[in-house]
A = this chain, B = another copy of it.
Amino acid sequence: MELLTSLEQLQAFNQQRSPQQTVGFVPTMGYLHAGHLSLVKAANQQCDLTLVSIFVNPSQFGPNEDLSAYPRDLDRDLAMLAEYKVDYVFFPDVQMMYPPGYKTWITVQELTDTFCGASRPGHFTGVATVVLKLVNLVRPHLMFMGEKDYQQIVILETMLRDLNLPARIVRCPIVREPDGLAMSSRNAYLSETERSQALCLYNALSLARMLYTAGERNITILKAQMTALIEQSGGKPDYIAFVDKDTLEEVESPADNTRILLAVHIGRTRLIDNASICDNYR
């Protein structure tokens, strides 16, 4: 496992690799958990070389968000990655990615303004921009991303296609704690009480899926049931949305291809989760 900390080292990696070798790329913000490691495993299986990036990208944090508090522990991350066949870890600093006079930003119309984009203005522009930069630097064949950030995946797939980039995203399923809570670096913020409250995201998704399977097709009712469950558990919903799984457009009545997206405040921590409304689609 080789640590690359400069653009020059990354260029050397690009010059050394053979055009025949496929490169699997796992972009992360570090503070790794089993969700990230499932992406590394998938990259190992599907590609010749695996490159993991660790970069807490400031441009995707709003002015009042948790950029400075975001958990960081490079040694811990490297120790976790050493257990896997990771060929390269790219660990740039902020100055290298956004030098003085940096000016270029990517927007993906409509998709960046809804749901998490509405709650976090500028967030997805920051995400799209840093991922495009990383893709240009790493030039991967496949990029492995977790479906926990479902809106992010749809935005990035759209960007790669629109900009005629050859890289493709491999969507990997959400990895959950034994009780159902989706793995997230932000779970580290939760107190013991909040940790049990946080289960309401998964429980609300499960409830909606159950009601849908039982025949409920009224979105107002489905949302009200989810909201009640979340609030009873001590959570505060940011948004609950029933969307077309491909376009992310909100649907008027749910169908098998509907995806449920939600964000919930647990104390001062904002968590997200999502699920297909039924098992006909993953």
Residue in A101, A103, A110, A158 whose Cβ sees the most chain B Cβ within 10 Å? A103
Q: Does A111 sit within 8 A of B, measured CB to CB? A: yes
Q: Is the CB of A162 within 8 A of B106?
A: no
Q: Is the CB of B163 within 8 A of A103?
A: no
Q: Does A186 sit within 8 A of B, measured CB to CB? A: no
Q: Does A105 sit within 8 A of B, measured CB to CB? A: yes
Secondary structure class of chain A's binding surface, majority of residues:
mixed
Q: Does A68 sit within 8 A of B, measured CB to CB? A: no
Q: Does A28 sit within 8 A of B, measured CB to CB? A: no
Q: Does A228 sit within 8 A of B, measured CB to CB? A: no
Q: Is the CB of A136 within 8 A of B164?
A: yes
Q: Is the CB of A107 within 8 A of B109?
A: no
Q: Is the CB of B164 within 8 A of A102?
A: no
Q: Is the CB of A163 within 8 A of B104?
A: yes
The A98-152 residues at the B interface (CB cut-off 8 A) are 101-111, 128, 132-133, 136-137
Q: Is the CB of A104 within 8 A of B104?
A: no
The A162-213 residues at the B interface (CB cut-off 8 A) are 162-165
Q: Does A19 sit within 8 A of B, measured CB to CB? A: yes
Which residue of B is nearest A96, CB measured?
A: B164
Asked if A132 meets B163 with Cβ closer than 8 Å, knowing A109-B105, A158-B104, the reply is: yes
Residues of B within 8 A of A165 (CB): 136
Shortest distance in angstroms between A158's beta carbon and chain B's nearest beta carbon? 6
Q: Is the CB of B108 within 8 A of A106?
A: no
Q: Does A159 sit within 8 A of B, measured CB to CB? A: yes
Residue in A107, A111, A158, A163 whose Cβ sees the most chain B Cβ within 10 Å? A163
Residues of B within 8 A of A107 (CB): 104-105, 107
Q: Does A67 sit within 8 A of B, measured CB to CB? A: no
Q: Does A74 sit within 8 A of B, measured CB to CB? A: no
- From the candidates B102, B136, B158, B164, name the one contacting A103 in the complex (CB within 8 A): B158
Q: Does A7 sit within 8 A of B, measured CB to CB? A: yes
Q: Which 6 A-B pairs have the closest CB atoms?
A: A104-B162, A103-B109, A136-B164, A137-B164, A103-B108, A104-B159
Q: List 19 A-B contacts (CB under 8 A).
A: A19-B19, A101-B158, A103-B110, A103-B158, A103-B162, A104-B106, A104-B107, A104-B108, A104-B158, A104-B159, A104-B162, A105-B106, A106-B106, A132-B163, A133-B163, A133-B164, A136-B164, A136-B165, A137-B164
